[in-house]
Amino acid sequence: MALQVSFTPVLVAALALAVGPAVGQELVYVEPGLAGCAMASAEGVTPLAPRPVARGLPVPGRIVVRCGFEQGSYTVTLDSTDPAATFSPRTFLVNFGRTVGPGTFTVTFATAGPQRVSARITSNMGSPPLPGRFVGVADRFDVSP
C-alpha cells in the first residue's frame, strides 16, 4: 500500500512561514549611539560555529538595514576571505535608509577551509561616512573540498 501525499499551495505557504526563510547568513547593520541600531544586539552574542558547506554550492544570505543610512546614498559591497568566491549580486545600493531591491544574495565558495563573509560600505555622491558596520553571527563557513 503506497501513501500518496499532495500539497496545496496554502499548505506549502504555511510550511514556508513555519520553517522561515532559507537564509544562510544575515548581515545586519549596527551603529553605536543610534537609537534602534544599538550594538547591544550584535555585541555580546557568541558567533555560531563555522557551518559546513560544500565547495561550489551556492549559500543564500541577505543584508539587513533597519537603521542608519538616512543621510544619503551608499554602496554595500560583499567580500570573502576566499579570494575566488563569487557573489550574486556582489553590491547593493542603499538610498536614504532603504535598500534598493530585496537585499538577498548567494555566495559560492571555491576554496576549501574556513571562510568568512563581510560587507564594506562606501559613501556615494558626497554622502557622509557611516560609523556603523555590518555584523553577522552566522558569517563563518567550513568549506569542504
Q: Is residue 36 part of a domain?
A: no
At 82, which CATH number?
A: 2.60.40
Domain presence at residue 74: yes
Please state the rounded mean pLDDT for residues 79-102: 96
Residue 55 included in any domain? yes
40, part of any domain: no
CA-CA distances (angstroms) from residue 49 to 15, 52, 139, 140? 27, 9, 9, 7
Taking alpha carbons only, the member of 23, 50, 80, 60 closest to residue 143 is 50
pLDDT cut 90: percent of the chain above it? 63
- The average pLDDT across 86-94 equals 97
Query: Is the residue at 9 inside a domain?
Result: no
pLDDT band at 21 (very low <50, low <70, confident <90, very high): very low
What is the per-residue pLDDT across 120-144, written as a single tens digit (0 to 9) for each? 999 999 999 999 999 988 889 999 9
- Residue 56 belongs to a domain: yes
Domain count, the chain: 1
Range of the domain at 104: 51-145
Q: Which residues pair with 62 in a beta bridge?
A: 26, 104
Residue 91 lies in a domain: yes
**pLDDT for the residue 87:** 97
pLDDT of 16 higher than 50: no
Average pLDDT, the chain: 82
As given in the structure block, the three cell numbers for residue 16 are 514556508
The answer to whether residue 101 is domain-embedded is yes
* Distance from C-alpha of 135 to C-alpha of 132, rounded to nearest angstrom: 10
| 108-124 confidence digits (pLDDT tens) | 999 999 999 999 999 99
Does residue 2 carry a pLDDT above 90? no
pLDDT tens string 33-66: 887 887 644 555 567 889 999 999 999 999 999 9
Q: Are strands 140-144 and 51-54 parallel, antiparallel or unpaired?
A: parallel
Global pTM exceeds 0.85: no
Q: What percent of the chain has pLDDT over 70?
A: 79
